[in-house]
Amino acid sequence: MSSILVVAEHRNQTLADVSYQVLSKGRQLADQAQMELLAAVAGVDIDAYAKELTRWADRVIIVNNDQLEEPLAEPYQKLIAHLIREIRPGIVLMGHSSFAMDLVPSLSVELGIPLVTDCVDIFWQNGDILVTRSIYNGKANASYSFAQSETILITGRVGEFPVEEGQRQGWIEEIEFAFEEECDYKKFEGYLEVEAAGVDITQAEVLVSVGRGIKEKKNLEIVEELARVLGGVVSCSRPVVDYGWLPSERQVGLSGKTVQPKLYLGLGISGAFQHVVGMKGARMTVAINKDAKAPIFSVANYGIVDDVLKVVPALVNKISELKGRTE
Amino acid sequence: MTLTNFRYGDVIHRCFRCGYCKFPINWMDVNNCPAYARFRMETYSCGGRLWLTRAWLEGEIEWSDHLADILYSCTACKNCEVKCPLSFNIDILNMMIAAKSEMVERGEIPSAAKEFLENIQRQGNPYGTSREKRDEWMEGTGIEAYQGQEYLYYVGCVGSYDTRGQETARLLGKVLQKAGVSFGVLGNDENCDGNEVRNLGEETLFEMLAEDNVAQFQGLGVQKIVTLSPHSYNAMKNDYPGFNGVFDVLHYTQLLQELIRNGGLDVSGGYNAKVTYHDPCFLGRWNEEYDAPRAILRAIPGVQFVEMARNRNGALCCGGGGGNFYLDLLGGSEDSPARRRVREACETGANVLAVACPNCLTMLEDAVKAEGLENKLTVRDISEIVGEACVIK
Amino acid sequence: MDIIACIKRVPDTSEADVVKIDPSQKDIEKDRLAFKINDWDEYVLEAAVQLKEKLGGTLTAVTIGPKEWDEVLRRALAMGADSAIRIDQDVSADDPHIVAIILDKVIRRLPYDLVLFGAQSEDFGSGHLGAMVAEILGIPHATLVINLEAEEKKIHVQRELEAGTLQSYTIDLPALLTIHTGINQPRYISMGGIRRAMQKELQVMSLSDLGLSLDALTPMVKLEEMRLPPKGKEAELITGAPEETAGQLAKILKDAGIF
């Protein structure tokens, strides 16, 4: 294999965290196999990104083109297909972001190359690359090998690969790339940021966070009460937003907010990775869930295996009692 | 869109909202409809729900989440049917169930009801816990699988899965063992009895459960059934015959009463407490069995029995019927029927509130905690009281 | 508007301790598990039925799997699908690329303006089948769709990105979308509805009916091994009745200076 190519992603003047993460992994894999690590970044005013990427990559390919300024699947598919045909990398690596999810499946079909998405591990075994995926919502792992192919396509799960400081001083190469025709069948109309209506869960010191284990919207009342006695606010996992019980600005996790409170109290949250990725920076985590095997218990400092609706009212009472004594 | 298949269209207008449906038997107050007691709005009484259903039927109002919550807050406790002075009273609860059926057919039911029914479709219980764990309650009890013994002991979903329900299921098993009753259980092959499924308006799912259970019981040669839950008792006694499933069905209090009377069960160990008794709707109003549980309590030395002001067919429902032990549309307030009920139990001066239903047990025990009455009142299933009286550890 | 909904059946693994690895180490033990429609696909069907109710046209549900998979098609038919097709082939552990080739062949035989997939599946969750099919069909796609409005010739969609950001597109039809949870509130499917749906046509096709053979479909990735994930650190468990656990926890929180 010749080289590993990492395609970096950026939006709002920031390189995505996951791009750094897969770049670090790419560096490691390249070193282990004595391969060249390439990084690609495209858009306008991308010199600063390129410079940043040279700390990990041996060579950074930059493509100045205003049609590549936003991370949109169609133009990027054309660009990456072009780069793969020109550079012929052995591995193309991207973060498993919403951008990649829209892009890599069609790319793999267009080029007829193998794809494994959302990998939690990527490693060499007897000269071949293998990957591990987390399946059944984190309850099992599966490893995969690839059929013979000049290039393989891999996306890496957000938060799985620690960022190691880059020590390289790679060089930058600009490539000319122009689009032959405009994509007129799919028109990008812009972004919509979910507005926070008064409550900013990222600023809270204490988060009382609820999952589907609270069963009914009405049970939010007692949870609000608990948040009140703890001086915190209520946040939630994705199903609670899906059911319409709380607005999406309260959602913690991959598609919601990333939080780092002093206390994260998870109530009836099973702890799927998409959720945990948004709260693992909490200084203290307590989980209450009736399923003793729920993955949240391997993230939490303290756990209670019980029905949330039984523990929470008692907890409100006990905290009020303790507060009453000190006040 | 309005109601299309409603089979009581020609009689539902006859409710003129006299309001009797909200009273207990002796007119002591107006809070004997559990949903009305919780929300204190006419809307939530049987009469209110009938008028809303009629308005829905006639196109005056449209379906809404709120309408669904109001209809599903009916616990099917039958107080309205007992109190309604009109001749159509035998149908008023069926009208509620028929209105829920219409919502089920349109797929527009409260999210907790959807979860409840889908869990039963998939795992045979409302909790969605694996079928393979249904027998975990009986670990270490030495209770045998049913293979032609005299009785099939049918445990039900709450007894099989709820932690507190499991305790009573085990204890009843031990009491039956101690009395030398020949019985067996179905373990992981037991399926939901369907009583609440019917009350939630999912008629076809109920039919399937009833057909499957009848076929299973008959295949095993079952003739006598003793149930832990009055809900199972009701379905098997009153509904299964309609599916050619005629069995000799007993609620466990009926069997224990008989065992004590004929000397088969020695309760001389006694139980020293001032005890009051809460009638479960599906044993009481639905099947008019008021005496067996009381006879058991009176037969136990040391029990000082007192009645609550509302008792027998005037008893206030715990709020757990109609699937509400899971849906919980009536919880979260000091006006919740379960909390009202435990306060009423306290007023008798009793220190033990006896129940004969695992649903009532969990509902009322939670209410005791919510009311902060733990030091005054303990909720015990009659199986547990008998267990203590016949010295089972 | 003619819609095709591609759906699948998955084991119910919502309880953590029900997942055990099969001795082959290529699958989990499935014989004791209950099965259900993939969570995302419930939202797919609800979205499809709502579009059909609003705009008319046909709705066809498609799945690939053995006989038991009819169950998810019956749900689709009960919900309002006009017809259903099952490709009789077990592909549950195969390379999604192969599954995409099969689905392309089925979809091409049908009239369609819009093809809907779930954004991912509860079992393998690779989340790339839909967009692969779109590329083979040669139609535009959008993944992770959380809002959808359809007109005669085009659709307006919003994709869910990270950190609460949505991305809007207008896409010409025909197109393919992968639907995310939360786009709607899926209705309950009554058993009565499912029984009535037994009357509706459910077509079963084989790979050869589609002009395909399994031998000619070469996977590009291979499942090597399945195993349980390594055990992480475990929380310190507080045990007892709710009163006791709540009391202990309150004290822990107080000692930690939370309140």
- The answer on B383 and B271 residing in a single domain is yes
State the smallest CA–CA distance between residue A92 and chain C in angstroms: 15
Residues B245 and B272 in one domain: no
* B5 in a structural domain: no
* pLDDT at position A13: 86
pLDDT at B25: 76
Q: Are residues B164 and B147 in the same domain?
A: yes
Question: CB contact, 8 Å: B266 with chain C?
Answer: no
Is residue B287 in a domain? yes
Which amino acid is it at C238? I
Return mean pLDDT, chain A.
90
Please choose, from the candidates B373, B336, B375, B377, the residue with its C-alpha nearest in 3D space to the C-alpha of residue B355: B377
Q: In whole angstroms, what is the distance from residue A250 CA to residue B94 CA?
A: 42
Query: How many domains, in total, are found in chain B?
Result: 3
CA–CA dist A36, A30 (Å, integer): 6
Check if the beta carbon of residue B366 is closer than 8 Å to that of residue B359: no
Interchain contact, C224 vs A144, CB within 8 Å = yes
What's the CA gap between B113 and B70, in Å, rounded? Answer: 13
DSSP run (H or E) holding A121: strand A115-125
Q: What is the domain-level CATH number for residue B280?
A: 3.40.50.10700
Counting one residue from B and one from C, how many pairs have CB atoms under 8 Å apart? Answer: 56
Kindly report, residue by residue over A98-154, the tens digit of the pLDDT.
999 999 999 999 999 999 999 999 999 999 999 999 998 888 999 999 999 999 999
Residues B273 and B384 in one domain: yes
H/E run at residue B341: helix B337-347
Identify the sign of the CA torsion A217, A222, A227, A231: positive
Residue in C13, C132, C226 nearest the CB of A137: C13
Q: Which of A12, A18, A105, A5 minimizes the C-alpha distance to A63?
A: A5
Chains touching B, CB cut-off 8 Å, 3+ pairs: A, C
Residue that is written with structure tokens 């004969």 in the block = B356
B128 reaches C (C-beta below 8 A): yes
Q: Residue A196's Cα: distance from chain center in Å?
A: 21
The answer as to whether B50 is a domain residue is yes
Choose the closest CB to C34 out of B109, B117, B131. Answer: B131
Q: pLDDT at position A189, please?
A: 92
Q: Same topology for domains A3-174 and A201-326, yes or no?
A: yes
Distance from C-alpha of B249 to C-alpha of B247, rounded to nearest angstrom: 6
Q: Is CATH 3.40.710.10 the classification given to domain A3-174?
A: no
Pick one of 1.10.1740.10, 3.40.462.10, 3.40.50.1220, 3.40.50.300 as the CATH number of A201-326. 3.40.50.1220
Q: Name which of A96, A319, A321, A323 to mutate to probe chain C: the one with the most chain C Cβ atoms within 10 A of its Cβ.
A: A319
Residue of B336, B338, B352 whose CA lies nearest to B277: B352
- Give the C-side interface with B, CB within 8 Å: 12, 14-15, 18, 32-36, 79, 185, 187-195, 242-243
Chains near A with 3+ CB pairs less than 8 A apart are: B, C
Distance from CA of B114 to the nearest CA of C (A): 6
Q: Are A219 and B111 inside 8 Å of each other by CB?
A: no
Residue C96 to chain A, least CA–CA distance (Å): 9
Other C-beta atoms closer than 10 Å to the C-beta of B142 total 8
Of B232, B258, B284, which residue sits at a domain end?
A: B258
* pLDDT tens, residue by residue, A263-279: 999 999 988 888 888 89
Pick from C70, C80, C73: which is nearest to C47 by CA? C80
Question: A10: which strand partners?
Answer: A15
Domain boundary residue among B224, B258, B292?
A: B258
What is the C-alpha separation between B226 and B209, in angstroms, rounded? 18
A309, closest residue in chain B (CA to CA)? B366
Give the minimum alpha-carbon distance from A219 to chain B in angstroms, rounded to a whole number.
Answer: 7
Residue A221 forms contact with B (CB below 8 Å): yes
The C-alpha angle A60, A66, A68, rounded to 5 degrees, equals 55
- Distance from the Cα of B137 to chain C's closest Cα (Å) equals 17
Burial class (CB in 10 A: 0-12, 13-18, 19+), B274: middle
Under an 8 A CB cutoff, do C242 and A109 touch? no
| A218 HSE (CA, 13 A, CB side) | 14
Domain, as residue range, for B361: 266-389
Name residues whose C-beta falls within 8 Å of residue A96's C-beta, 6 or more positions apart in sequence.
Answer: A18, A117, A118, A119, A155, A156, A157, A158
Whether residues B291 and B380 fall in one domain: yes
Which domains occur in chain C, in start order? 3-216 (3.40.50.620)
What is the sign of the dihedral through the CA atoms of A203, A209, A211 and A215? negative
Outline where C38-93 has alpha helix (H): 39-55, 70-79
The confidence score (pLDDT) of residue C234 equals 82
- Residue of B328, B333, B362, B379 to mutate, interface with A, max A Cβ within 10 Å: B328
More confident residue, A309 or A109: A109
One-letter amino acid at B371 equals E
DSSP notation for A233-260? EEEE-HHHHHTTSS-GGGBBSTTSB---
A243–B111 CB contact, under 8 Å: yes
pLDDT for the residue A184:
83
Considering the domain architecture, whether residues B274 and B238 belong to the same structural domain is answered as no
For A15, other C-beta atoms within 10 Å of its C-beta total 18
Q: What is the pLDDT of residues A21-37, one digit of tens each?
A: 999 999 999 999 999 99
Of C14, C35, C188, Cβ closest to residue B109: C188
Size of interface A-C (CB pairs under 8 A): 269
CB contact under 8 A, C144 and A243: no
Return d(Cα B83, Cα B93) in angstroms, integer: 12
Number of CB atoms found within 10 A of residue A153's CB: 26
pLDDT of residue A326: 52
**What does the alpha-carbon distance between residue C48 and residue C51 come to, in Å, rounded to a whole number?**
5
Q: Does B272 touch chain C (CB under 8 A)?
A: no
Residue ranges for chain B with pLDDT beneath 70: 1-5, 393
CB-based contacts of C6, cutoff 8 Å, min separation 6: C44, C61, C62, C63, C103, C115, C116, C117, C129, C130, C133
The secondary structure element, H or E, covering residue C61 is: strand C59-64
- In the predicted model, is pLDDT for residue C175 greater than 70? yes
Q: Taking CA atoms, what residue in B is nearest to A221?
A: B332
Largest separation between any pair of C-alpha atoms in chain C: 70
Residue of C nearest to B123 (CA): C34
Residue A202 has pLDDT above 50, yes or no: yes
| C85-139 pLDDT per residue, tens | 999 999 877 789 999 999 999 999 999 999 999 999 999 999 999 999 999 999 9
pLDDT at residue number B2? 47
- Give pLDDT, residue A196: 57
Q: State the pLDDT at residue C241.
A: 86
Strands B224-227 and B151-154, bridge-based pairing: parallel
Looking at the fold, whether B192 and B221 belong to one and the same domain comes out as: yes
pLDDT tens, residue by residue, A210-242: 998 888 888 898 999 999 899 889 999 988 888
- Chain A positions touching C167 (Cβ under 8 A) are 98, 188, 190-192
Which tokens belong to B138? Answer: 């009986």
Chain A interface, mutation test: which of B65, B111, B329, most A Cβ atoms within 10 Å? B111
Q: For position A55, what pLDDT does the model report?
A: 94
| pLDDT at A325 (0 to 100) | 61
Point out the domain boundary residue: B258, B277, B299. Answer: B258
Same domain, B254 and B277: no
Of C34, C79, C188, which is closest to B117 when you measure between CB atoms?
C188
Mean pLDDT (whole number) for C174-196:
93
Rounded distance between C-alpha atoms, residue C60 and residue C115, angstroms: 10
d(CA A238, CA A228): 22
Local confidence band at A195 (pLDDT 50, 70, 90 cut-offs): low
Considering the domain architecture, whether residues B240 and B158 belong to the same structural domain is answered as yes
Q: Which residues on chain A are in Cβ contact (under 8 Å) with C259?
A: 229-231, 319, 322-323
Question: Of A54-58, A322-326, C135-139, where does mean pLDDT reach its minimum?
Answer: A322-326
CB contact (8 A) between residue C182 and residue A304: no
Residues of C in contact with B205 (CB under 8 A): 190-191
Neighbours of A66 (CB within 10 A): 8
Domain range annotation of chain A: 3-174, 201-326
Nearest-CB residue to A263 (from C19, C239, C258): C258
The sign of the CA dihedral C69, B114, A218, A289 is negative
Give a yes or no: residue B127 inside a domain: no
Give the distance from residue B57's alpha carbon to the nearest chain C alpha carbon, in angstroms: 20
Taking CA A260 as the corner, what is the angle to CA A257 and CA A263, rounded to the nearest 5 degrees? 115
* Cβ within 8 Å, pair A216-B328: yes
- Asked if B252 and B271 sit in the same domain, the reply is no
Residue C165: HSE in the Cβ half-sphere, 13 Å Cα cutoff: 11
Evaluate whether residue B133 is within a structural domain: no
**A62 vs chain C: nearest CA distance in angstroms?**
25
Q: How far is CA C37 from CA B171, B358, C115, C135, in A?
A: 38, 32, 18, 25
Is the confidence at residue C258, as pLDDT, over 80? Answer: yes
A11, A24, A30, A70 from A56: Cα distances, Å: 20, 7, 10, 23
Full-model pTM: 0.86
Say if CB C40 and CB C119 are below 8 A apart: yes
Coil/strand/helix, residue B176: helix
Cβ contact, residue pair B204, C15, below 8 Å: no
Contacts of C32 in chain B (CB under 8 A): 130, 132
pLDDT at B1: 41
Using alpha carbons, list the distances in angstroms from residue C48 to B141, B266, C41, C44, C177.
51, 64, 10, 6, 11
DSSP run (H or E) holding C194: helix C191-196
- Interface touch C192/B369, C-beta < 8 Å: no
Q: Which structure tokens are listed for A181?
A: 């025709």
Please give the share of chain C, as a percent, with pLDDT higher than 70: 100
Gap between the Cα atoms of C259 and C249, Å rounded: 12
- Do B147 and B204 belong together in one domain? yes
pLDDT tens figures, B23-77:
887 777 888 999 999 999 999 999 999 999 999 988 899 999 999 999 999 999 9
**C200-246, pLDDT tens digit by residue?**
889 999 999 999 998 888 899 999 999 988 877 788 899 988 889 99
Name the residue in chain C with its Cα closest to that of B105: C190
Q: How many CB atoms lie within 10 A of CB B167?
A: 18
- pLDDT over 70 (residue A198): no
Q: Which of C167, C183, C236, C252 to mutate to test the interface with A (most CBs of A within 10 A)?
A: C167
Assess contact for B54 and B12: CB atoms under 8 A: yes
Torsion B333-B336-B338-B342 (CA) sign = positive
pLDDT reported for residue A212: 86
The pair of structure tokens assigned to B32 is: 């004997």
pLDDT band, residue A197 (cuts 50/70/90): low
Are A221 and B372 an interchain contact pair (Cβ–Cβ within 8 Å)?
Answer: no
Closest by Cβ to A215, choosing from B328, B369, B370: B328
Percent of chain A with pLDDT over 70: 97
**How far apart are the C-alpha atoms of A281 and A260, rounded to whole Å?**
5
pLDDT value of residue A167 = 87
Does the pLDDT value for residue C16 go beyond 80? no
pLDDT at B4 (0 to 100): 59
The contacts of residue A111 (CB under 8 Å, 6+ apart) are A81, A84, A85, A151
Are C49 and C42 within 8 A, CB to CB? no
| Chain segment C37-62, per-residue pLDDT in tens | 999 999 999 999 999 999 999 999 99
B236 and B275 belong to one structural domain: no
Q: Do C195 and B204 touch (CB under 8 A)?
A: yes
- Best residue of A139, A241, A306, A310 to probe chain B, by most B CBs closer than 10 Å: A310
SS3 A171: strand
In a domain, B332, yes or no: yes
Give the pLDDT score at A327. 46
Does residue B84 lie within any of the structural domains? yes
B79 belongs to a structural domain: yes
Give chain B positions within 8 Å (CB) of C14.
128
What CA–CA distance (Å, rounded) separates C109 from B19?
A: 62
**C227 C-beta neighbours (distance < 10 Å), count:** 12
DSSP class of residue B239 equals I
